[in-house]
Amino acid sequence: MRDGLNRALLALLGAAALAAGTWPAVTGLVREVPPWWPLPGEGLRPSVPDWGSPAVIALTGAVTAASLGWLVAQGPGRGPRRLALAHPALHLRTRALVRALRTEAEAVPGVAGARVHLSGRAARPRLDMAVLLEPEARPAAVLERLAGEQLRAARTAAGSERLVLSVRFRVRGHRAGRAR
């Protein structure tokens, strides 16, 4: 949710800056130069110190670079698309591994649903799970099962003993029956 909000705010800010910059030129609001502006034939130089122009150019460049860095950081955090297996010609698609892990997590007693995301570099992948528990489920038992059997299976499937697991639990609320 936060990434989408950041992208939307960045797009709105960019559109507003573009509109503010082009509005005077498009509408013809600026028809003549200000009285303090030096005219081409007068030979006058503006009263800007020698360091002023390079400072303005450097500051503009720094702000542009920071804005571009923020824009790139808003992109989706992609992890490895494929994981290398024991044989050099074999690869495992991370999407297939994620689907299998989600199915296994949802099969654990007390789990109502799960979302699984694989991120990080191929040398050190990270597995993030968001698990929705049934109201009567015991989180300790679910975590023990996820961090035990399923983490071992995921490490074996990914071919990486360095796979890190992060689990977040949420509990589904009780739905009271309607009385008439």
Domain ranges of the chain: 2-73, 82-171
Rounded CA separation 68/147 (Å)? 39
* Antiparallel, parallel or unpaired: β 164-171 and 125-133: parallel
Q: Which CATH class is domain 82-171?
A: alpha beta
Residue 45 has pLDDT above 60, yes or no: no
Contact by Cβ (8 Å): 114, 146 = no
What are the b/e assignments for 46-66, b being 16+ CB within 10 Å? eeeeeeeeeeeeeeeeeeeee
Give per-residue pLDDT as tens, 47-72.
666 777 788 888 888 988 988 888 77
Closest C-alpha among 151, 3, 132, 25 to residue 73? 3
Query: What is the reported pLDDT for 43?
Result: 58
